[in-house]
């Protein structure tokens, strides 16, 4: 049996973020639901549209964190998180597609340009599997 498919409202975590976030799935075409909410695909990775802020970012690879840390004489200074997710989630479901794209599963990850790894801590449902 496969993993639960990820749906709108799924809980996300970032390795450099301070707080959890929830996945937003923007309807395109005919919405596909999975146990109620709309199912997500690997293409639901757009910053601030699909992936919201994680509070503050503590990655020194983030230019605002680097500048604030430098100004604080090397003391790590977290700054507001603005995700920079430019590539799709990976891997997607090997057998379930939605609108021609692999469905998002709980083991999928998305990489932030500021070195954060975004994971799915709760897929939002447990009935439908991919």
* DSSP calls for 4-21: BBPBTT-EEEETTBSS-E
When the pLDDT of each residue in the chain is averaged and rounded to a whole number, the result is 92
pLDDT greater than 80 at residue 43: yes
Per-residue pLDDT reduced to its tens digit, 12-22:
999 999 999 99
Sequence ranges of the domains in the chain? 1-55+81-130
In sequence order, the 6+-apart residues with CB closer than 8 A to the CB of 7 are 23, 25, 33, 34, 35, 36, 37, 38, 39, 40, 123, 124, 125
Per-residue pLDDT reduced to its tens digit, 71-104:
999 999 999 999 999 999 999 999 999 989 999 9
Task: Kindly state the average pLDDT of the residues 38-50.
Answer: 95
User: From CA 93, how far away is CA 100, in angstroms rounded?
Assistant: 12
Phi first, then psi: give them for residue 3, nearest 5 degrees. -85, 160
User: From CA 24, how far away is CA 11, in angstroms rounded?
Assistant: 10
Sign of CA dihedral 60, 81, 113, 125: positive
Sign of CA dihedral 121, 19, 111, 40: positive
Give the pLDDT of residue 127.
67
Which of 3.40.50, 1.10.3470, 3.30.700, 2.60.200 is the CATH number of 1-55+81-130?
Answer: 2.60.200
């Amino acid at each position: 049996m496969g993993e639960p498919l990820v749906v709108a409202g799924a809980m996300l975590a970032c390795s450099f973020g301070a707080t959890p976030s929830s996945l937003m799935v923007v309807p395109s075409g005919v919405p596909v639901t999975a146990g109620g909410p709309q199912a997500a695909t690997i293409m639901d990775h757009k910053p601030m549209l699909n992936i919201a802020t994680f509070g503050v970012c503590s990655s020194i690879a983030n230019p605002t964190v680097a500048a604030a840390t430098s100004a604080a004489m090397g003391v790590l200074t977290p700054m507001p998180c603005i995700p920079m997710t430019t590539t799709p989630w990976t891997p997607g479901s090997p057998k379930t597609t939605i609108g021609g794209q692999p469905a998002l599963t709980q083991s999928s990850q998305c990489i932030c340009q500021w070195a954060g790894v975004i994971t799915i801590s709760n897929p939002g449902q447990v009935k439908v599997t991919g």
